[in-house]
Amino acid sequence: MNFDADLNRQSQDQGRSSGRQSGSSLRIPPHNSEAERSVLGAILVQNEAYYRVVEVGLEPRDFYREAHSKIFETLSYLAGRGEPVDLVTLTSSLRDRNWYESIGGTAALTSLFEDAFAVSNVAHYARIIRDKALLRRMIDTTAEIAGDAFEGVEDIEAFMDEAERKVFSVSDVKLTKSFASMQSVLVENMHLIEELSAKKEIVTGLPTGFHDFDRLTNGLHPGQLIIIAGRPAMGKTSLVLSLAQNAAVGHHAVVAVFSLEMSKEELGFKFLSGLSRIDSKRLKIGRLADRDWPRLAQAADQLSKSKIFIDDSGDLTVMDMRARCRRLQSAEKKVDLIIVDYLQLMKGSKAASKGDGSREREISEISRNLKALAKELKVPIIALSQLNRGLENRQDKRPMPSDLRESGAIEQDADMVGFVYRDEVYNKDTEDRGVAELIIGKHRAGETGTIRLAWLAEYTLFANLASDSPGTPVPQGRPDRGDVGL
């Protein structure tokens, strides 16, 4: 078999490795040529083996030997076109690509049949290849990070974030899941039902502190992507901060807040004002009465003991968030809720940004990746979103899903879509002053409806309406029904 190209690659790999090692010892990167030949041979012997390999997530780049990579890429091309995969079709396709001689010709392909072991083990061999490929990519990535470190670093925090992003990107491998039997699915269902029955709790997810919302949704659940949208000045940020505060202070949740618009200091003032019930304007200029200081101290103490973590970096990608949330999960052992303020300020991948230059395409990728991140981390993600200006021209300015700005994919990817509406923004003489509507326009797992909340403008806070008088905001300075800050 002609492995000139492979030997050249080994030489290059050894050269890179030697630069990272003391002494003259050389190391060949992790690989398993026998497993590579066995997988290729199994596919030629029995075409069905190809689909077992695909389920593992194997790609041409995972093969160490260039000849094997070219052969697998050609096999994938034939299988994708629905053509039979055998020695004749493979030879023809390799010749069409001018790869036949470089992979070793007839002798190389014939030897693959000889190395085809039990086809039933092909998935195991494929996992070996994939794992070795991950190790090689990790070696290259850490070598790159080490090289950057030797060259000197001006901003250590930015360097560490980028290094972490690179390391996590290595493990960002798409593993195609196979079918799960109904029996295994039902076993998980029954375990969950038994746990919920034992707890005897009405709200099965993470409580938000908004009673009507929790009754409608059963709380926030792992893997959900929740979109909260509204026009400017409706209080989108204040709503999710009120929710985050109640989840963290009232229910000991670990909450990660990514604020791409407001600074962490601004968010800190909002949290303090809401929990202490001190006018936010007076708080920002330090005009406090004697009676305010004990309430401020108590609020600061409660917030400092809570598990709210704020990242106010700009130009974040979903990959950046993924790396930082994994780090937080490692430090805190869990993350219960992720909040993104707001989706349109996030940055898409380079591929999405290039493409046709469409911002809609970029937003679609971001929303899709946020949903994937929620599933991967098993955490509910709340992302704020802007709305189109078009609704301003309607008589009834209550938002609907079609008003979501820049992408219909946001509605498609979301498990729940809620809209914040305050009638007093448009109608100064409304009877609903101090009242906000949270309109659930989409709810994949349950009912839709409208939840009425109190809007306490001086504290930039949303709260439950008083239970004894529907439509009447909670009296100032008194949390409703014992909820912390709400």
Provide the 8-state DSSP code for 387: B
Asked if pLDDT for residue 211 goes beyond 60, the answer is yes
For residue 285, give the amino acid letter: I
- The ranges of the chain annotated as CATH 1.10.860.10 are 4-170
pLDDT given at position 479: 39
Residue 262 has pLDDT above 90, yes or no: no
Whole-prediction pTM value? 0.67
* Beta partners for residue 418, in sequence order: 228, 440
Dist. CA 278–CA 295, nearest whole Å: 8
Reply yes or no on whether the pLDDT at 453 is more than 80. yes
Return d(Cα 111, Cα 65) in angstroms, integer: 15
- Its CATH class, for the domain covering 204-482, is alpha beta
pLDDT tens digits, one per residue of 335-350 = 999 999 888 888 876 6
Q: Residue 328 above 90 pLDDT?
A: no
pLDDT over 80 (residue 480): no
> What is the structure's pLDDT at 276?
85
Clarify whether 36 is annotated catalytic.
Answer: no
Q: What is the pLDDT of residues 51-104, one digit of tens each?
A: 888 888 888 999 999 999 999 999 988 887 778 888 899 999 999 999 999 999
The enclosing H or E element of 341 equals strand 337-341
* CATH superfamily, region 4-170: DNAb Helicase; Chain A (1.10.860.10)
Q: Among residues of the chain, what percentage have pLDDT more than 70?
A: 85
At residue 385, what are phi and psi to the nearest 5 degrees?
-140, 150
Which residue do the tokens 């940020």 mark? 237
Do 381 and 226 contact (CB within 8 A), yes or no? yes
Question: Which member of 261, 265, 332, 360 is catalytic?
Answer: 261
The more confident residue out of 472 and 250 is 250
Token pair of 64 as six digits? 């160490």
Average pLDDT of 124-134?
A: 93
Provide the pLDDT for residue 9.
56
Residue 356: partners with Cβ closer than 8 Å, 6 or more residues away: none
Q: How confident is the model at residue 437 (pLDDT cuts 50, 70, 90)?
A: very high
Sign of the dihedral through C-alpha 362, 323, 167, 72: negative
β-pairing, 461-464 vs 449-456, is antiparallel
What does the pLDDT average to over 150-169? 82
Report the chain's terminal Cα–Cα distance, integer Å. Answer: 73
Residue range 389-415, pLDDT digits in tens? 777 778 888 888 878 766 677 888 889
Question: Kind of pairing, strands 435-443 and 449-456?
Answer: antiparallel
- Stretch(es) of the chain classified as CATH 3.40.50.300: 204-482
Reported as a single tens digit per residue, the pLDDT across 19-30 is 444 443 568 899
**Of 116-120, 170-174, 359-363, which one has max mean pLDDT?**
359-363
Apex CA 238: angle with CA 234 and CA 239, to 5°?
80
- Using omega within 30 degrees of 0 as the cis cutoff, is the peptide bond preceding 342 cis? yes
* Cα torsion angle, 362, 375, 172, 61, sign: negative
pLDDT given for residue 354 in this prediction: 57
Pairing of strands 449-456, 337-341: unpaired
Element (H, E) at 313: none
How many beta carbons lie within 10 A of that of residue 89, not counting itself?
A: 16
Residue type, position 104, single letter: G
Residue 129 has pLDDT above 90, yes or no: yes
Helices (H), 151-263: 156-170, 182-199, 211-217, 236-245, 251
